[in-house]
Amino acid sequence: MLDAADINCTVEYVADGAALAATVAEGDGICLLPQPNVTSAIVSSGARIAIDIAEEWAKYFDTEIIQGCIVVRRDFAEKEPELLAQFLADYKASIESVNSDVDAAAALCEKHQIIPKAAIAKKAIPDCNIVYVDGDEMAERTAGFLEFLYEKNPASVGGKLPDESFYFKPTAPHKLVNAGKSACRVLWVSTPPSF
């Protein structure tokens, strides 16, 4: 993004967002922080948001920034489809709950020591852009982002782009194959209905 904006600067990577927030609190330079560290820095030191990375990204690129995902081994998805489906349903419900009841989510963040203070969590959660995306939409968004990363540095995605088997799409046709010589009977029960 810096190259696209023709900005020349030195970037120093710091792995710990909390340590970086402390650097901001000391008034030492410009920092790129994730939420909730942004809100913590604002509350503790009076720092300010200079730019919104998502807005700036959209000015230069046709992809979305993907910052988190659920990764599942193929053998697990094949052996435990009901468990995976239940996990994804619960995960989606959790995200919907966080976004619809920020006060309760903030209290849980403090209770479980995810964020030190509920007040900070309450301010940070709306800016965290927590979403659940699956199926074809997930594959499309992720593929675009991976292509972008590959174009910049192939090693950042393992040297090659993943094929379709990389994505688990619950709405795609699936099949069972009997590789043996004797008859096979299968009882398939699944939830939710989209699985």
Q: What is the DSSP letter of 126?
A: G
Q: Quickly state the pLDDT bin for 190 (edges 50, 70, 90).
A: very low
Cα-based distances in Å from 20 to 37, 41, 42, 126, 130: 8, 9, 13, 21, 22
Determine if the pTM surpasses 0.85. no
CB atoms within 10 A of CB 17: 18
Residues in contact with 46: Cβ distance below 8 Å, sequence separation at least 6, in sequence order: none
Burial environment of residue 123 by CB neighbours within 10 A (0 to 12, 13 to 18, 19 or more): buried
101 vs 109: CA distance, rounded Å: 12
145 vs 74: CA distance, rounded Å: 21
Can you tell me the mean pLDDT for 69-97?
A: 89
Give the pLDDT confidence of 96-139 residue by residue, as tens digits.
999 999 999 999 999 999 888 999 999 999 988 888 988 788 88
